[in-house]
């Protein structure tokens, strides 16, 4: 899956919350948002892609998830927050190189043929949230549980996975079939990760010592040395040059997204444009983590993950031909199924610390709403999604808006932006109101009521903008003629 990840440390955010966010860029996967209670968590899991069977622990917690509506290819839960206020997003598909993959091959399912035995595959994006999130009580615990599964079963793809709790964010990247490394994200930075091996530094002494902020496979140093993986010179320690890729396609598909996000986060402390730019859209050395020039709010993360190079010559929607428009792969794309921001807050009581901002369809055109996650069930507007399109849920309504607005960008974007900002304002108003009510009364069952009100508001606003976009798109159809037309 081609995705984009943003991680915001608690000292980099405007309200002291830790945020992990990712676009889940599938193949027009039809998604819903649900709560998975312990009784619905399987005791024995079998992957569709890998045919792997795993016996799960007996004590799962309740958690949110955004699974595929069509189960034929598996669950694909994508993202969620559990009742211990731990968030997880999985996975960011990342790049590797032939040296790594030859030394530790991916564990890919192979059916029996020509007398050979069937080979069971490892775990992957289809499985990870389900296998890990219900059983962890901290972000660090998430790393350790996932790492143990990787070492035992392996993986069939190269992936990056994020975890957050109230105090920490951890980022894990897989290395080949069974190896891995993970870093605690510094509190004052924002991490930007666009489908490449991301970490550009790693403290091996800490990983093999105190393990305060770095963890990895027990044999990783030996693995690097025995397979001659280190390409660094002059004492440098850039792990991208050990485990990552250097492909021409990265300069079209991946690095430009990092450039756009870095340009937004640090417009003053780094030079991103012009002849003397420190970084260009095709630079391989764009930092994995940046200290932003100002504090970052949910709305900033929303802007980053909706990016299509607006304000640059590469914007595919620009009204004049720059000669460069559409050169690079945008962040907000047509086939995104779901995007979420898992926000773990510190300034509210424990039962309402987890807030998940959810968006379906192309982020460029879709609205985001906040959802309290520590609830027994979510409103039908989020969970009752079928294979057939319907305006009775946010998923299909968002898809319809995006498909029409894309063709009439200049004429519809004012309505779209008003809609997106309106959802953010009214969603925040409801959260502020219910935060106060629940803090004062200690009645946290009101979170379900708040979610219902947010969804009722979102349905009304979404149907309104859908009508406006439909009218504009209808007026601009190519078969529009009048009696006075020549």
Q: Just list the catalytic residues.
A: 3
Residue 113, strand partner residues: 116
Phi/psi for 419 (5° steps) reads -65, -50
Contact 165, 138 (CB under 8 A): yes
Give dist(CA 348, CA 147) in Å, integer: 31
Contact 418, 412 (CB under 8 A): no
Residue 29, Cα to own-chain centre: how many angstroms? Answer: 15
Instruction: Let me know how many helices (H) and strands (E) the chain has, helices first.
Output: 13, 17
For residue 328, what is the enclosing H or E element?
none
Q: 161: phi > 0 → left, psi -120 to 50 → alpha, else beta; which?
A: beta
Closest CA relative to residue 415, chosen from 486, 359, 456, 464: 464
Phi/psi for 172 (5° steps) reads -115, 135
Give dist(CA 244, CA 465) in Å, integer: 43
Give dist(CA 410, CA 398) in Å, integer: 18
Contact 358, 87 (CB under 8 A): no
- 194: Cβ contacts below 8 Å, ≥ 6 apart: 4, 5, 254, 255, 257, 258, 261, 331
Residue 298, strand partner residues: none
* CB-CB neighbours of 79 under 10 Å: 27
Closest CA relative to residue 10, chosen from 2, 22, 20, 21: 20
Question: Positive or negative CA dihedral for 269, 272, 273, 275?
Answer: positive
Give dist(CA 281, CA 258) in Å, integer: 8
Closest CA relative to residue 289, chosen from 347, 359, 243, 240: 240
| Burial degree of 481 (CB within 10 A; 0-12, 13-18, 19+) | exposed
Q: Which residue has the tokens 């799960």?
A: 56
Question: Is residue 336 classed as helix, strand or coil in its secondary structure?
Answer: strand
């Amino acid at each position: 899956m081609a995705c984009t990840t943003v991680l915001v440390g608690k000292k980099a955010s405007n309200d002291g919350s830790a945020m992990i966010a990712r676009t889940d860029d599938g193949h027009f996967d039809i998604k819903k948002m649900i709560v998975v209670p312990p009784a619905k968590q399987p005791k024995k899991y079998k992957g569709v892609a890998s045919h792997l069977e795993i016996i799960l622990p007996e004590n799962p917690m309740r958690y949110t998830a955004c699974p595929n509506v069509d189960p034929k290819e598996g669950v694909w839960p994508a993202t969620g927050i559990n009742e211990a206020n731990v968030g997880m997003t999985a996975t960011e598909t990342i790049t590797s190189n032939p040296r790594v993959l030859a030394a530790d091959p991916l564990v890919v399912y192979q059916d029996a043929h020509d007398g050979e035995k069937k080979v069971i595959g490892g775990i992957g994006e289809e499985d990870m949230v389900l296998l890990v999130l219900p059983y962890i009580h901290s972000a660090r615990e998430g790393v350790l549980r996932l790492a143990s599964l990787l070492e035992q079963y392996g993986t069939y793809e190269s992936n990056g996975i994020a975890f957050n709790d109230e105090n920490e964010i951890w980022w894990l990247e897989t290395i080949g079939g069974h190896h891995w490394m993970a870093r605690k994200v510094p509190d004052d930075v924002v991490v930007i990760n666009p489908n490449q091996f991301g970490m550009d530094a790693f403290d091996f002494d800490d990983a093999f010592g105190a393990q305060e902020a770095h963890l990895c496979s027990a044999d990783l140093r030996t693995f690097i040395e025995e397979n001659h993986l280190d390409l660094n010179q002059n004492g440098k320690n850039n792990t991208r040059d050990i485990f990552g890729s250097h492909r021409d396609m990265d300069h079209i598909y991946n690095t430009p997204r990092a450039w756009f996000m870095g340009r937004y986060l640090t417009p003053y402390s780094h030079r991103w444009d012009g002849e003397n730019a420190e970084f260009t859209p095709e630079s391989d050395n764009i930092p994995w983590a940046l200290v932003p020039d100002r504090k970052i709010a949910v709305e900033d993360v929303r802007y980053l993950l909706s990016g299509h190079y607006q304000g640059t010559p590469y914007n595919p929607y620009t009204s004049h031909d720059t000669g460069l428009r559409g050169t690079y792969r945008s962040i907000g794309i047509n086939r995104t199924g779901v995007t979420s921001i898992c926000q773990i807050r510190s300034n509210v009581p424990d039962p309402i610390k987890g807030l998940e901002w959810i968006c379906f369809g192309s982020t460029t055109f879709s609205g985001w709403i906040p959802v309290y996650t520590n609830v027994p069930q979510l409103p039908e507007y989020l969970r009752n999604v079928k294979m057939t399109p319907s305006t009775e849920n946010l998923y299909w309504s968002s898809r319809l808006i995006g498909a029409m607005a894309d063709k009439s960008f200049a004429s519809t974007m004012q309505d779209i932006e008003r809609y997106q900002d309106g959802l953010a304002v009214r969603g925040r108003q409801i959260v502020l109101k219910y935060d106060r009510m629940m803090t004062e009364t200690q009645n946290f069952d009101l979170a379900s009521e708040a979610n219902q009100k947010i969804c009722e508001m979102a349905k009304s606003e979404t149907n309104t903008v859908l009508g406006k976009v439909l009218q504009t798109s209808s007026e601009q159809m190519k078969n529009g003629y009048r009696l006075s037309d020549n």
